[in-house]
Chain A
């Protein structure tokens, strides 16, 4: 169990650092989502199921959805701008 926990914690650090250094935003959002899921497992190990449920619903669920939406919105704006440029 202890070993499993150590592996999870190591994965957390890897995820956090790779969020900082990934170029593509979509990739980094997905990495961030997996970061939240790992955190959720760690909270299960730390005997706090309340936190695990909340993290799964909020961190991995709602927060990621909001990030995806923002990205989608930004891409839509970018697309519109390109269309305008092509027309003009």
Chain B
């Protein structure tokens, strides 16, 4: 297993990053850290996906000198998917950061648990 993992080093790293990001997103209390965790998780998934398209010894999928052999280029599909994914991740980041600003304006805290408690108390008034 270890040997296989050392061959799949990009995936291994991607998976470790995914775990780290997932945990930060789920269990860190600071909202900004949570958002960073989300970003780490997303980029880890993209690294995983992009490494699936890589083929050793082949070139960028941009046609040069009219060469159109399959054996010349790497798989272009994952790159395209990741490109789409990056846009999605920057959109959600912007949205969550603006929510964070509004919540901080209101409750003067970045701690999600604290915000939830304060919001509950505010509702009861």
Chain A residues with a Cβ under 8 A of chain B: 5-6, 9-10, 12-13, 16-17, 19-20, 25, 28-29, 32, 35-36, 39, 42-43, 46-51, 54-55, 58-59, 62-63, 66-67, 69-71, 73-74, 77-78, 81
Contacts and interface: CB of A to CB of B under 8 A. Distances in A.
A46 B10 contact: yes
Main secondary structure of the interface of A (DSSP, over half): helix
Main secondary structure of the interface of B (DSSP, over half): helix
B97 A66 contact: yes
Contacts of B83: 50-51, 54
B86 A67 contact: no
- Max chain B CB contacts within 10 Å: which of A28, A47, A74? A47
A70 B20 contact: no
Interface of B: 9-10, 13, 16-17, 20-21, 23-24, 28, 30, 32-33, 35-37, 39-40, 43, 46-47, 50-51, 53-54, 58-60, 74, 79, 82-83, 86-87, 90, 93-94, 97, 100-101, 104-105, 108, 110
A48 B39 contact: no
B66 to A, nearest CB: 20
Given A35-B40, A48-B79, A70-B100, A16 B50 contact: no
